[in-house]
Amino acid sequence: PAPLVAWRTGAGTRPAAGMRRVLHGVVLSAVASRVAGNLLQFITHYAFLFNDSAVELIRDADVYPPSLEVRDMRLSRFARNCRVEGRFHQFEIDVPSGLTKFVKPAANGSADFVLVPHCFGNLITRMNLACLALSGAALLQSTGLYNHGGCSKFVRTSIDPYFRAWAGELRGLGPRAVVALTLEVARMASAHFQEIPHVLSYTGPTDWLARNVDGFGDRDRADFGCGLQRATSASGSRSFYYPSRWEFDVMVTPPSPYDSMRDWRPADGRELLFSFIGSNTSCLRSRILKSWGGSELPDVYVTEERHAEGQAYSSVLQRSRYCLVPDGHVPWSFRFLDSLHHGCIPVIVSESWHPPFHRLLQWAAEGFPIIFLHPARIDDIHKVLSLKNFEEWELTQQKTMPLAGFLDPRSDVFYEAQLAELALVRQLKEGRRRSGAS
């Protein structure tokens, strides 16, 4: 496995070349070592990233960490023969061991939360690949359909009995159950997921921007070429819709193969104002490629080129001040963490995006290393980003390093942050119970 990243401060550490930066009197550096239990230390060093009210709560030993029971994956009939099927579903496999290291011990049956492991993402991947490997005749005989869409329908139908049985098992745990879902649309993938009390996933309510960022409310909606209707499927043809009724869920970051210890670069040499390299998987990306693909401006690089991956992709991110992160099939994207690992400030081009760890981090605060751009302003991207002067951008750019370390699924703080979010959820629920009782 890739080395886990721990973040330390002070002159005693030796950062990689070009990575020692001073921000608010704090030396930023990345050290390849595993340091358990360092969330509160991390918060102390990088307080500018966090919500003060949330930090005040989790500094209370009676609040954080919560007690968590992790069911043994080896005993679960829904987690047998699990193996990694690419980094997309790695979270399902890692979350039991990742959380276990930091939980508060609890007597049997008295834990605040119960994590129920599974590897449905792996199972679905294997079923889909097996279906696609069939010849046309065999596929017709097995599924009644020939194409990729037929395989998707076949897999959904085949997996449904597993989902139904698993959801029944979860109901026995009552309001304490916690589940990790790496499926693209999270709870929306199955009606059986609707009543799970707490879900850890990449996908969150699509009204977050409208509630937290100026210019994204309902009155600001405009047809930017994809229509005004929203879709609950991962089609990419319209803006995605995910309901807000599951307010006790925790959103986390999808993984990235890049690493700020190796790939982060400081401000020098970033001659590109903004860039985007990505497949044309959504109506929104089509708009970006149409408006900016092949631009003659020397500080813009936007392309769908398939060969521009690996080192070429990484090089472009290292040369860019801002990196566009538009919706694909769904609003979350691997490019978000890719950008941070390279020291490129992500520009969220979406009206449906939801941030990870939204209770802990102050995403909408001024100076936070992120830009939110409404899709209706795609043609104005260059003008909007050019308004930032270099000194202001450089100060913000330095914050991408600790944020990347915090959000990286290979780091210990990534799992501690999930427990902190669950602790905040528990406080919210208890507060409501008290107000209801009074």
Phi first, then psi: what are they for 361, rounded to 5°?
-95, 145
342 contacts 264 by C-beta, under 8 angstroms: yes
Residues in the chain: 438
401 contacts 264 by C-beta, under 8 angstroms: yes
* Omega prior to 66 cis, within 30 of 0: no
Alpha carbons 346 and 399: distance in angstroms, whole number: 12
Alpha carbons 381 and 322: distance in angstroms, whole number: 10
Q: What kind and span of H or E run contains 55?
A: helix 52-58
Within 10 angstroms of residue 432's Cβ, the number of other Cβ atoms is 10
Q: What kind and span of H or E run contains 94?
A: helix 90-100
Within 10 angstroms of residue 361's Cβ, the number of other Cβ atoms is 20
Alpha carbons 234 and 389: distance in angstroms, whole number: 37
What tokens were used for 146?
């020939």
Residue 281: DSSP 8-state: -
Residue 399: DSSP 8-state: T
Beta-strand relationship, 26-31 and 68-70 = unpaired
Q: What kind and span of H or E run contains 400?
A: helix 400-407
Alpha carbons 70 and 376: distance in angstroms, whole number: 45
Task: Give the residue from 343, 332, 334, 388 showing the smallest Cα distance to 369.
Answer: 343
State whether the Cα torsion 64-198-98-264 is positive or negative: negative
Alpha carbons 373 and 379: distance in angstroms, whole number: 11
The pLDDT of residue 14 is 29
The pLDDT of residue 230 is 79
Alpha carbons 412 and 115: distance in angstroms, whole number: 18
Q: What is the DSSP string of 319-359?
A: TEEEEEEE-SSSS--HHHHHHHHTT-EEEEE-SS---TTTT
Alpha carbons 329 and 315: distance in angstroms, whole number: 25
The pLDDT of residue 162 is 83
The pLDDT of residue 335 is 94
What tokens were used for 235?
């089609």
The pLDDT of residue 136 is 55
56 burial level (CB within 10 Å; 0-12, 13-18, 19+): exposed
With a cut of 70, list the residues of the chain below it in pLDDT: 1-37, 73-81, 83-86, 135-150, 218-223, 306-311, 437-438
Alpha carbons 433 and 438: distance in angstroms, whole number: 9
pLDDT digits (tens, 9 = 90+) for 303-351: 987 655 566 899 999 999 999 999 998 999 999 999 999 999 999 999 9
Residue 371: DSSP 8-state: E
The pLDDT of residue 139 is 52
Alpha carbons 295 and 279: distance in angstroms, whole number: 17
306 burial level (CB within 10 Å; 0-12, 13-18, 19+): exposed
Within 10 angstroms of residue 149's Cβ, the number of other Cβ atoms is 9
Beta-strand relationship, 177-181 and 198-201 = parallel
The pLDDT of residue 78 is 64
State whether the Cα torsion 395-396-401-405 is positive or negative: positive
The pLDDT of residue 36 is 35
Distances (CA, A) of 105 to 102, 110, 332, 353: 9, 10, 34, 35
Distances (CA, A) of 239 to 139, 223, 329: 33, 10, 9
Alpha carbons 303 and 278: distance in angstroms, whole number: 7
The pLDDT of residue 350 is 94
Q: What kind and span of H or E run contains 181?
A: strand 177-181
Alpha carbons 131 and 296: distance in angstroms, whole number: 44
Q: What kind and span of H or E run contains 422?
A: helix 412-437
